[in-house]
Amino acid sequence: MGVPCPAWKGPADGNGLEGEEDRDAREDNLSSVDWSQVLLETHIQEGEASITGEEKLRRAKNSDNIQLGGRSFFSLWEDYLDNREDSVLEKLRRKRKGVKTILFLGLVLRFSDGSRNVLSLRFNDSDSEWYWDNTSLGYHFHGFSHSASLASN
């Protein structure tokens, strides 16, 4: 899967090397994820064409939902590799039309160039395959980019 990236540490405007990891530690308490209960949200408000990844992350954190991160990303990706058409990821795509990008905002990574990134899964229409990626929070996101979370109890 390429070179691993460490978790971002400290505030978003820092160097990412010092402080607490920027992640939703509540994911660690999940023994499993019921993907039928996962919320896929754009965080875009009425009248907005797009928002930055940092704004998307801020809104996600303010929702109090459990933001899914690395553990959930890897379990979903491994299930896709093992089961392809019968995978949870494919079932989500078929059930929730328009979902072609899923961001995992529960773990912010420090990329080698010092940028803030999150893990993502993207569906490519041309070959009908899912791919994983590191996506910069500096990008602008539109309504087709969803983040995965669970409602907190």
Look at residues 95, 70, 76, 65 and name the one whose alpha carbon lies nearest to residue 34: 76
User: Secondary structure of the chain: what % helix, strand, coil (to 5)?
Assistant: 30, 30, 40
Percent above pLDDT 70 for the chain: 97
Q: Tens digits of per-residue pLDDT, 24-34?
A: 999 999 999 99
**pLDDT for residue 144:** 87
Q: Is 95 helix (H, G, I), strand (E, B) or coil?
A: helix
Percent of residues, the chain, with pLDDT higher than 90? 89
Element (H, E) at 78: helix 70-83
44 DSSP assignment = P
Structure confidence at residue 135 as a pLDDT band (50, 70, 90):
very high
Spell out the SS3 assignment of 58-71: HHHHHCCCEECCHH
Q: How far apart are CA 82 and CA 71, in angstroms?
A: 17
pLDDT in tens, 66-88: 999 999 999 999 999 999 999 99
pLDDT at 52 over 50: yes
